[in-house]
Amino acid sequence: MPDSGHVMLTVLLHHDQSKTLDEIMAHLKKTGFYRDFPPEGSELVSWVVAMSFGFVIHLKVEADKVRSVNRYMEQKAWGVFRYQVFPSYDFAPIAADLKKQHG
């Protein structure tokens, strides 16, 4: 991302498959997960469902708000999701340039 004040995070939320969908949804409603998403200081870039896994979410986050994303997940997602987060960047423009160079 060209904006040096932000980072992109890839967030993986893996469903706890020992819980039913109703149990997962009840937990997320109780914690306000959907109501409050995305956390303050972040912007939703993409949110996809990976069937049999859970969610793959990309967030653009103010660099000094990365901790708040972590705290958000601890408070609202734990209990129904395993949570992983990775700093990431958009590779599509690079791949397009490589395709031209190697074409």
Domain that holds residue 25: 6-102
Grade residue 98 by pLDDT with cuts at 50, 70 and 90: very high
Q: Average pLDDT of 32-39?
A: 96
Listed in sequence order, the residues at least 6 apart from 72 whose beta carbon sits closer than 8 Å to its beta carbon are: 36, 37, 39
> Is residue 30 a part of any domain in this protein?
yes
> Is residue 1 a part of any domain in this protein?
no
Give the domain CATH number at 67. 3.30.70.60
pLDDT 10s digits, 39-72: 999 999 999 999 989 999 999 999 999 999 999 9
Other C-beta atoms closer than 10 Å to the C-beta of 65 total 18
Number of folded domains that form the chain: 1
